[in-house]
């Protein structure tokens, strides 16, 4: 199979022009006679690649100068522990919003370091909505408030940014970063595993406000200490250089697409087409998330008749639509439609769904 539309949740599809550029530069980066993979992270060549990637990310996200941008290893999951280690600042409690499986994991990890105060949870109703901000039981002494703007597995997305005043807002943007504009100054810390909207796996990007550095709890390993990592420009040890380089190519591609606002408009259209198909299917396809909270990035759906699911996946693959199986927790199907999924991929999926339905409905 030559070309497929890859709906994988992550590692996910990368923009074709980025892969082509990486291919062209694979053996000989800009006349150096070597691959980026082979370069010293402290050499002038890689330092320029790293600096350019950061400058481009700052540009496309509008990151103010009083925020550090860190390119780290350990995936988004490493931040579940690093955040309490660094941000508790002597406090004993932090607020957590539980709206899906990933925020639940973050809570589990935070409880090793503090009292993770769950301000609201939709676990009992299988994570299908976002409770109104005014209903949350926030602790006035919380060190920060952590939430997950897009829950990747259930496809539940916040339609608002919580306004937490002086309490720093911490967001796991793994599956929503760069999908729509955000106002960085509303946040104390943003983190995102790279393997969805940024680049290949092996990298986690952390954007953290300066005043939240330098507060790590005693005993914090150096590699988990934001201040040490920031002081060393994310090169306290060897960073994931190739993933950093490829992410830089993705940031340039985003600029060429007209930036995040332009991608956001396409993303909204893509999601709308899929949900419209599901909702018009008279229950043949189902998505349980309440409409205002449906994700624009991750669209899970079930077939009314589960017996047809394997057939759906097999026929979809034959039509060049790959990796539509749902998360192993949930089953069913899931279409991850990150920035790199062209609208033509969603159109092809919609056509396939409409063709499949009368044959098995
Ligand atoms: N948070 C969210 C919202 C995610 O979607 C994921 C991965 N799917 C993670 C955290 C964990 O990321 P990683 O595997 O990079 O640790």
Helices (H), 208-305: 226-231, 241-256, 259-279
Is 295 labeled as ligand-binding?
no
Split at pLDDT 50, 70, 90, the class of 164 is very high
Q: Read off the tokens for 250.
A: 């993705």
Q: What is the pLDDT of residue 256?
A: 98
What is the position in ligand 1's atom list of the atom closest to the CA of 9?
Answer: 8
Q: Which two tokens stand for residue 121?
A: 């949870």
- The burial class, CB within 10 Å (0-12 / 13-18 / 19+), for 28 is exposed
Same domain, 193 and 57: yes
Question: Annotated binding residue at 42?
Answer: yes
The answer to the question of residue 8 being in a domain is no
Report the C-alpha gap between 171 and 187 in whole angstroms. Answer: 8
Q: Bridge partners of 325?
A: 333
Tell me: do 163 and 282 sit in the same domain. no
Whether residues 262 and 198 share a domain: the answer is: no
121 and 232 co-located in one domain: yes
- The residue-averaged pLDDT of 141-157 equals 98
Kindly state the percentage of the chain with pLDDT values over 70.
99
pLDDT of residue 318: 97
Q: How confident is the model at residue 2 (pLDDT cuts 50, 70, 90)?
A: low
pLDDT of residue 16: 96
CA distance 71 to 280: 43
CA–CA dist 355, 26 (Å, integer): 41
Best of 152, 190, 330 for a ligand 1 pocket test (most atoms within 8 Å of beta carbon): 152
Which tokens hold the place of 352?
Answer: 């396939």
**Integer Cα distance of 164 and 98 in angstroms:** 16
Domain of residue 211: give its range.
Answer: 16-256
Q: How far is the CA of 35 from the centre of ligand 1 (A)?
A: 29
Domain for residue 203, yes or no? yes
Residue 6 falls inside a structural domain: no
Clarify whether residues 180 and 248 are in a common domain.
Answer: yes
Number of domains in the chain: 2
pLDDT in tens, 55-65: 999 999 999 99
Q: What is the pLDDT, as a whole number, of residue 277?
A: 98
């Amino acid at each position: 199979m030559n070309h497929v539309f890859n709906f994988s949740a992550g590692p996910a599809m990368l923009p074709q022009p980025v892969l082509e550029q990486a291919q062209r530069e694979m053996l000989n980066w800009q006349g150096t006679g070597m691959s980026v993979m082979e370069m010293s992270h402290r050499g002038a060549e890689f330092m320029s690649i790293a600096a350019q990637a950061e400058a481009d990310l700052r540009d496309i996200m509008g990151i103010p100068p009083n925020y550090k941008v860190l390119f780290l290893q350990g995936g988004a999951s490493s931040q579940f522990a690093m955040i309490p280690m660094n941000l508790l600042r002597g406090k004993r409690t932090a607020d957590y919003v539980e709206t899906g499986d990933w925020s639940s994991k973050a809570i589990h990890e935070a409880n090793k370091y503090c009292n993770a105060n769950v301000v609201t949870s939709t676990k009992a109703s299988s994570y299908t909505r976002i409770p109104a901000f005014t209903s949350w039981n926030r602790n006035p002494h919380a060190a920060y408030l952590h939430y997950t703007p897009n829950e990747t597995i259930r496809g539940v997305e916040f339609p608002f940014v919580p306004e937490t005043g002086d309490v720093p807002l911490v967001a796991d943007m793994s599956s929503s970063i760069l999908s729509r504009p955000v106002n960085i100054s509303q946040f104390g810390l943003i983190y995102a595993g790279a393997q969805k909207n940024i680049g290949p796996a092996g990298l986690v990007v952390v954007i953290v406000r300066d005043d939240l550095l330098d507060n790590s709890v005693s005993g914090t390993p150096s590699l988990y200490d934001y201040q040490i990592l920031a002081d060393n420009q994310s090169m306290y040890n060897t960073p994931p250089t190739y993933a950093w380089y490829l992410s830089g190519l993705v940031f340039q591609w985003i600029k060429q697409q007209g930036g995040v606002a332009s991608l956001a408009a396409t993303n909204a259209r893509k999601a709308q087409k899929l949900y419209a198909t599901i909702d018009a299917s008279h229950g043949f396809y189902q998505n349980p998330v309440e409409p205002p909270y449906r994700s624009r990035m991750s669209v899970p759906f079930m077939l009314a008749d589960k017996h047809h699911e394997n057939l759906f996946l097999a026929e979809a693959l034959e039509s060049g639509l790959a990796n539509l199986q749902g998360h192993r927790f949930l089953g069913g199907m899931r279409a991850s439609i990150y920035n790199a999924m062209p609208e033509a991929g969603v159109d092809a999926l919609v056509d396939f769904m409409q063709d499949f339905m009368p044959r098995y409905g």
